Amino acid sequence: MANNQTTAWQMALDQLDGAARILNLDPYIHERLRHSQRELTVSIPMRMDDGSPRVFTGYRVQHNLIRGPAKGGIRYHPAVDLDEIRALAMWMTWKCAVVNLPYGGAKGGVICDPKAMSPREIEHLTRRYATEIEFFIGPDKDIPAPDVYTDEQVMAWFMDTISMTEGWSAISSVTGKPVEIGGSLGRREATGRGVMFAAVEALRYAGIPTAGARVAVQGFGNAGSVSALLLHDADATIVAVSDSKGGVYNAKGLDPHAVLAHKRMAGTVAGFNGADPITNAELLEADCDLLVPAALEKQITAANAPRVKAKVVVEAANGPTTPEADRILRDRGVFLVPDILANAGGVTVSYFEWVQNLQAYFWSEAEVNERLRAVMGSAFDAVLRTAERHRIDMRTAALVLAVGKVGNAMRIRGLWP
């Protein structure tokens, strides 16, 4: 397929097929893994604020449940489609396996434009969507979490809806909730903190000191902004950041705390004083040591990969690099930490939240962060060892490690009936 025609689902299948070849995976297990275990499509009828009727389409896909209940976020975005959700669910299966969580992968999404909706409309959308998929989810079946354009408030509405229909406070039904209703300390920063841990390990492996390392971050949302702030606090130099409306660049360094304050007032990082404007496309080719793509899928492609100057790429977003771009970066000697490892901090602390909910005992933020550091460090080392053993790149190594774990679990459990 031509690069611009490659879907996220085809990318995910190609990655699985490559790992299966290296593992010499049982063809029966391989074929099962190429299909989602369950897929649900729902209609979400609403009356908008102006009284007009609308019917939105929502999805929830469970890729695999062999290692435990499914886990995965819910995104609200105009470009959501079933193939994208399938791919994201498969990637969640691998992500959970890479960091050795007792979960399978799932993902949900609603086709909508939350930026064009009022808070009341988003609440009604969330509550109706939760009602439509309630039979599909639960703390021992499938535990949703926030994703693109959803947040802890959306999870609060989601959990409250499940609680009202169940008749009890179902705090373990979702993760990424506010702390006041069962959320975990450290969850909001977890994805970005995990990216920072992965980036520090990658820079060390590449022989680049974190102090003074020049960093460009595409996507200044939750994951991107937190990773930028934490890398800045570790004495890295943030030279460029961007969001959907534009970006800013300063070779001498940006203060991400000030950039975040500007974004809260202006709604975008664009226009930040003391920096030059830069587009999202230009940021990917900025002169830097570390590039953190933290926006959407397929940002680094065959067209721009030859011009990526970063020596290290750490994927905070899901699927930001196409397979063609992967090969180009690998051939150019760029050290890339793949999404299923780099951004696993969010699902790891979601797991911590779920465990805390089930045992009704909560940890301090310092304990959460230290547990996250241990998980990310262990997973990075395991993937690196796999890469060195098979003489393969880190993405392929992470997939080989994850597919091997899931495939082995499938082999041991067998097929019923």
**Of the listed 71, 95, 107, 405, which one is catalytic?**
107
Whose CA is closest to 114, among 79, 149, 139, 83?
149
Question: Which residues pair with residue 314 across a beta bridge?
Answer: 337
Q: Cβ neighbours of residue 188 under 8 Å, at least 6 residues apart? A: 152, 222, 226
CB 387 within 8 A of CB 393: yes
Left if phi > 0, otherwise alpha if psi is -120 to 50, otherwise beta: which for 332? Answer: alpha
Cβ atoms 156, 181 nearer than 8 A: yes
CB 68 within 8 A of CB 102: yes
Buried b / exposed e along 307-316 (16+ C-beta atoms within 10 A): ebebbbbbbb
Give the other-Cβ count within 10 Å of 91's Cβ: 27
Distances (CA, A) of 55 to 43, 87, 120, 125, 148: 6, 24, 16, 10, 21
Query: Does the active-site annotation cover 107?
Result: yes
Q: How far apart are CA 23 and CA 17, in angstroms?
A: 10
Going by C-beta distance under 8 Å and a sequence separation of 6 or more, which residues neighbour residue 282?
A: 247, 249
Q: Give kind and range of the element (H or E) at residue 239.
A: strand 237-243
Cα–Cα distance for residue pair 188/344, rounded to 1 Å: 13
**182, 206 in Cβ contact below 8 A?**
no
Taking the C-alpha atoms of residue 118 and residue 78, their distance in angstroms, rounded to an integer, is 15
| Catalytically active residues, by annotation | 107
